[in-house]
Structure 1
Amino acid sequence: MPIRVGVQVQPQHADFEGMRAAWREADEAGAETIFTWDHFYPLYGEPDGKHFEALTTLASMAEVTERADIGALVICNSYRNAELLADAHRTIDHISGGRAILGIGAGWFQRDYDEYGYEFGEARDRLRALREDLPRIEARLAKLNPPPLRDIPILIGGSGEKVTLKLVAKHAHMWHGFGDAETFTKKNEILLAHCADVGRNPSEIERTWGIHGNVLEHVDELVAAGVQHVIVGIGGDGTGYDLGPLRELIAWRDRVNAA
């Protein structure tokens, strides 16, 4: 399988037009995927800096790009009703011409919860809610009229060994995590065991992995370990984004896939 690369254009510390320009640039450069994230405040830098909401951002991204699949790394399950989340992604899929990914996770950033009035609770509560909502999302996607233009891939973010990776085995078409090659190998072995337990073919799940900093420092080790899709996160620099790291990654991908 050819290696794929993507970018998370983080919706913080930038103007909206700066994000639009970055999406277009990434799309034209050859990224296979373009992602946002689902928070209400920046995760680093000035904590009250510029920031934008995810679903409306995705709708705009769908309109101005042409090639790349688009989604969030990842939507927080706590912030929206499961049926609404499915319907919104169906609509985004139509806006994009069939390129939507439904990325989802249990949520973790307490400030979002506190400031917007959601119950933060315990991690086990948020994971229980995700476990209950994934079948609702799948059922709603199957009922919508018109349906999505394709079977929307479900991406689950997280590496919790007992619950999250079991949910990946049951529901996901893509699994996303972070860490070094040793971390990936350990978590992937646990995912393989969960797949065996639920009777899922593990080859049906694409392994995607987030990287930061020097994008080429460890990427060969990750791919050798089994990562299939490498995604670099890039934050805003005041008004826009420097996509130099993505271009390095695309050039690396082209060399690896041509070998």
Structure 2
Amino acid sequence: MGILNVTPDSFSDGGRYCTEANLRARIQELLTDGADIIDVGGESTRPGAEPVPPEEELARVLPAVRAIREQSGLPVSIDTTKAEVARQALLAGANIVNDISALEEDPAMLAVLRESGAEVVLMHRQGEPRTMQLAPHYEDVVAEIAGYLVRRIECLEAAGIDRARMILDPGLGFGKTSAHNLAILRNLPAFTRLGCRLLIGHSRKSFLGEITGQREAQQRDLATALVSAFCAAQNVAILRVHNVAATREALMVQAALQGHINR
């Protein structure tokens, strides 16, 4: 899953793709590099980020979704917690709703999913972007996140959403310390066994910088690729990344080492 942020303030690439020329160039880059899905976001979810009005978010994401549709038939994910943004993006050609609140922030999102038949990413977070990194605490981070995701699955199934349409995301960096993030990665089977596809969004995140000493987000692609290969070896279905080319190369090497590719 290649990331396309059309925000002025995202932690890694804020403001880079807000002109039409840069937007189309980024879409082509993602396609050329081999993305299987493009995830479009119009509201930064970095720690400390302020919410964006739905009208402003729509003005950012709809041109991006339409531009992808003009260039490709690739699945498109809309990264939003707002039902109206999701509804209009789906009408414009998106296929997946990536909701970092797991549909808790906007109750109308359930109706959008029922009407559209779209797939949905359910992510765990502790707190909200403005406050989530202020001393996050868990008694058992893996068990608590897995339990939360099970409850969200059950809630959606009770509302008529089939489990096959759900994708789970334990939410690295969303109300977690570096130790919490590493515990999640060390215990991926606790999430893959829940009966849904698993998505991991680790790309360029600060915990990788704490490990490697790389302070600039753009310098964390090697660490990101290594985590991607680690996750793929443990049946993670979707890897949400900025640098698709580096991740694809890492996955090719990982597949060769496992005997899936012979050269």
Mark yes or no: TM-score above 0.5.
yes
- 1:253 — aligned with what? 251
The one-letter code matched in structure 2 to 1:251 is E
Gaps of 5+ in 1: 1-5, 94-98, 108-125, 142-150, 196-201, 234-244
Aligned residue runs from structure 1 range 20-35, under 5 A? 20-35=24-39
Matching residue of 2:96: 101
Deviations 1:167-211 (A, max 9, x none): 24545522234445630465762684xx5xxxxxx1xx2211112
1:60-113 CA-to-partner distances (Å, cap 9, x unmatched) read: 3433331431113x2123xx44xx733x244223xxxxx621222329xxxxxx
Aligned to 2:151: 166
1:222 is displaced (CA, Å) by: 2.0
- Relative to the length of structure 2, the TM-score reads 0.57
Q: Whose strand fraction is larger, Structure 1's or Structure 2's? A: 1
What TM-score, normalized to structure 1?
Answer: 0.58
Question: Aligned equivalents of 2:168 and 2:121: distance in 1?
Answer: 6
Alignment equivalent of 2:233, drawn from 224, 229, 235: 224
Quick check: 1:62 aligned with 2:63?
no
Aligned mates of 2:190, 2:226 — CA distance in 1? 24
For residues 19-56 of structure 1, what are the alpha-carbon distances to aligned partners after superposition, in whole Å with 9 as ceiling and x for unaligned? 221111111221101112241x6848x99xxx965531
Residues 1-259 of structure 1 mapped to structure 2, 5 A cutoff: 6-11=1-6, 12-14=14-16, 15-16=18-19, 17-39=21-43, 43=46, 53=58, 54-72=60-78, 74-77=79-82, 80-81=83-84, 85-86=86-87, 88-93=88-93, 100-106=95-101, 127=104, 129-130=105-106, 132-141=107-116, 151-158=117-124, 161=145, 162-168=147-153, 170=157, 171=161, 172-179=165-172, 180=181, 182-184=183-185, 186=187, 189=190, 192=193, 202=195, 205-211=196-202, 212=204, 213=220, 214-233=223-242, 245-257=243-255, 258-259=260-261
SS of the aligned residue for 1:207 comes to strand
Q: Check the 8 A contact 1:184/1:225 in 2, yes or no.
A: no
* Structure number with higher relative contact order (C-alpha < 8 Å, ≥ 6 residues apart): 1
Deviations 1:113-146 (A, max 9, x none): xxxxxxxxxxxxx83x54x4343223322xxxxx
Residues in 1 aligned to 2:188 and 2:225: alpha-carbon distance in whole angstroms: 22
- Structure 1 165/27 Cα, relative in aligned 2: closer, same or farther at 3 Å? farther
* Paired residue total: 189
Root-mean-square deviation over aligned CA pairs = 3.6
Q: Residues of 1 paired with 2:183 and 2:234: CA distance? A: 8
- For 1:188 and 1:61, the matched residues in 2 are separated by 37
Q: Percent identical across equivalent pairs?
A: 6
- Give the 3-state SS of the residue equivalent to 1:174 in structure 2: strand
- Give the C-alpha shift of residue 57 in structure 1: 3.8
